[in-house]
Chain A
Amino acid sequence: MSLFTEAFMTALLVGAIAAGIPLLLAGLGEQLSEKAGVLNIGIEGMMLSGAYFGFLIAWKTDSALLGFLGGIGGGMIVAALMALLCVRLGLNQIVIGIALTLGAEGATALLHHVQFSQSYPRLSAPMVFSIPGLSQIPVLGTAFFSREPIVYLSLALVGVFAYLYRRTYWGIALQAAGDKPAALDSAGVNVMLIRSGAVLLTGGLVGLGGAFMAIVGAGIFVPFMTSGQGFIGIVLAMLARGQPIWVLGGAILFGACLSLTTALQVAGVDIPTDVIQMLPFAAVMLVLVFLGRKANLPSALGAAYVRGAR
């Protein structure tokens, strides 16, 4: 039986995109927070919250669109706590980030236990939008041009953020909040507002990533289902250092490597599974370390801003 058929290759590419999109959204979200000077370790929790609320609302309303909006809201709920505790009250960002992740893990697991543990409802496959012409291309067509609208939107966000960071007043203010918050404050811009807004928007993006995992990726919510994807998003953002395009590159590379690991195993390549499973992490780190090292992290990253403090 031939293994590398069109159906198999298509499934691998579809899998790569499905695995890469949540990482892209998590990475873009973390990058946004970091630009504003907030090291957001809590995105794993925001993602899980987004996955839970996204699934809950999609299941209740039978609408993937409303589910995605629910995911954005779910991520923002956790992000609001982060903004309150770290930006407003100036508490340690790493400690609060870890606490929020653990809290979100416990809360979503408990909610799942109460609501779904006896029934484990599953969603039907969400609607796909096929781009006429392009979707007919063998293998690539189905994988890239016959996808859920959320996939196109997520990819478009890379360009949107690249534009916002480089060409808008908001992008400059964001950069200043991360690099020279005191200077931004002196210029009459509310640093707290910029940072809080960035954290909330991060929650929305990451929550959308979680909702994607639950609605498109799995079609179900199970406790702990983000399985550290949020932390991989942090790594992508750190290595991409301010460039949305590198987050996209890292996320797609990671997703492609995940599919490659499946292909190698299914093909029966005689390499220990641990080595194969290491491939995505090693590849992303190698590529981004070599290509993304010129950019710098914001100088005030991780430090709470207190007006007048030295």
Chain B
Amino acid sequence: MFRKAYTAILPSVMLALLATSALSQDIKSIAILTPEQGTDFGWNQQGVDGAKAAGKATGVEVITAENLGYGDVRPTLRELAEDGNTLLIAHASGYNTAAPEIGAELGVKVAIVDSPASLKNGAVADYTASGHEGAYLAGRLAAKMSRSGAVGIVVSGEPPSWNSQSAAFAEGVKAEKASTVIRYAVIGPAAYSDAAGGKRVTESLIASGADIIFGQGNGSSFGMLQAVETTKAVDGGKVLFIDVIGDKSTIDKGYLLSSVLWNLTPIYTAMIEDIKADKFGSRNYDIALKNDSVSLLKTPQIPDDIWTSVMAIRDQIVKGDIKVTPKFDADSVHALVSELK
């Protein structure tokens, strides 16, 4: 009887084990490609640091290919794929056409940004990470601290991630103080490293009355920071800067008000886990306040009472009492900023 049952169960168990081993993928290394060096206190650094941390947590080697620029990265993608990396993280919206193409050609999984519709089972996943909840908090903070009643938004382009944060920032400003004027300007079509453009546009916004600047850019954000450091507000006082993604406190000269910090480690970790479970490409990835993958930076420029009240708003968002809906398209941002003026 027992022997009969054993002979009946054994093949099933063997089959299940075989199936599991066939489904779960062995993953030794992944690669991340970034357009600029991973030392920009922003997008590129968060990408590289996040990938390395995820690799460490999951026991996977991480290859970094930095400073690739915004041109054609197909040769690098091909080389990294041929080197045996299981996953290629194409960490720039400009790579989201080339990466799926090379991935399909060489049978390698790719993660891209700013193209959620490209999701493809077993092949492509998107991580259009949006810190819109954090940007909403930044908007509430800016409205509380603006002396002039005018704040500015400067962006180096209009990718979905920037748009959702611009929109949420504007909504936060208006929710806090409806009379606050919001000025919005884009430096250029893809002016991510245009530091001079960042400074020029920021100076114009400051001259228009803004005394707090919410800046989104990679290299160009250093030009924005330089503008707030060297230009006085219309009332002769200090202009403060709210950054995104990274933490520039170590190079701050007393003008950094806050930053909407992103932590991409949970995203990349989830990708690796999904590959191991053969679920990669079945979902896209995002970041949120609730798991601290999005947070707001506390600096000495923020008085304690204001910080306490902003953190109370954070708790309301986490609980779901305040709902911040991301708006990824540029038209929505323009409509929102115009409507709010």
Q: Measuring CB to CB, which residues of chain A are less than 8 angstroms from any residue of chain B? A: 1, 3, 5, 7-8, 10-12, 14-15, 18-19, 22, 105-106, 109-110, 112-113, 117-120, 122, 124-125, 213-214, 217-225, 227, 258-259, 262-263, 265-266, 268, 270, 272-274, 277
Contacts and interface: CB of A to CB of B under 8 A. Distances in A.
Contact of A106 (B67, B230, B338): B67
B226 interface: yes
Given A18-B196, A220-B226, A265-B185, A1 B67 contact: no
B209 A1 contact: yes
Contacts of A110: 67
A97 to B, nearest CB: 15
Contacts of B67: 106, 109-110, 113, 223
Contact of B226 (A7, A112, A122, A265): A122
Interface stretch (B36-44, B102-110, B319-327): B36-44
A225 B193 CA distance: 5
A270 B150 CA distance: 20
B189 A277 contact: yes
Contact of B193 (A124, A224, A263): A224
Contacts of B69: 105, 224
B145 to A, nearest CB: 17
A220 B150 CA distance: 27
Contact of B181 (A1, A109, A120, A270): A1
B187 to A, nearest CB: 9
B215 interface: no
B185 A262 contact: yes
A227 B188 contact: yes
A11 B199 contact: no
A266 B222 contact: no
A120 B226 CA distance: 11
A1 B150 contact: yes
Given A117-B37, A122-B229, A272-B331, A266 B204 contact: yes
A119 B219 contact: no
Interface of B: 36-37, 39-41, 67, 69-70, 148-150, 158, 181, 183-186, 188-189, 191, 193-201, 203-209, 219-220, 222-223, 225-226, 229-230, 234, 248, 250-251, 253, 330-331, 334, 337-338, 341
A268 B148 CA distance: 19
- Give the most central of B200, B225, B234, B341: most A CB within 10 Å: B200
B222 A122 contact: yes
Contacts of A8: 204, 207-209
Contacts of A217: 195-196, 199-200, 223
Contacts of B196: 18-19, 22, 213-214, 217-218, 225
Nearest to B156: A227
A223 B338 CA distance: 34
Nearest to A15: B200
B335 to A, nearest CB: 8
Given A122-B226, A213-B196, A223-B219, A273 B330 contact: yes
A42 to B, nearest CB: 16
A18 to B, nearest CB: 6
Contacts of B185: 262, 265-266
A278 B84 CA distance: 42
A258 B251 CA distance: 29
Contacts of A259: 200, 204
Nearest to A113: B37
A274 B189 contact: yes
B208 A266 contact: yes
B230 A125 contact: yes
A210 to B, nearest CB: 10
Contacts of B251: 119-120
A270 B225 CA distance: 28
A12 B204 contact: yes
A114 B175 CA distance: 44
Contact of B41 (A120, A218, A277): A120
A125 B226 CA distance: 10
Contact of B195 (A11, A113, A220, A268): A220
Max chain B C-beta neighbours (<10 A), residue from A119, A124, A218, A225: A218
A277 B188 contact: yes
Contacts of A122: 222, 225-226, 229, 253
Contact of A223 (B37, B200, B230, B331): B37
Contacts of A19: 196-197, 200
B334 A218 contact: no
B286 to A, nearest CB: 25
Nearest to B150: A1
B198 A272 contact: no
Contacts of A213: 196
Contact of A273 (B197, B205, B222, B334): B334
B149 A112 contact: no
A219 B39 contact: no
Contact of A222 (B207, B222, B234, B330): B222
Give me the 6 closest cross-chain CB pairs, A-B, nearest first. Answer: A217-B196, A11-B207, A117-B39, A222-B219, A218-B195, A224-B193
Nearest to A277: B189
B230 A219 contact: yes
A273 B338 CA distance: 13
A8 B231 CA distance: 13
Given A117-B39, A217-B196, 5 more contacts: A122-B222, A217-B199, A218-B198, A223-B36, A227-B197
Contacts of B183: 266
Given A218-B199, A223-B37, A262 B338 contact: no
Nearest to B234: A7
Given A117-B37, A122-B226, A225 B203 contact: no
Given A11-B207, A18-B196, A113-B67, A218 B186 contact: no
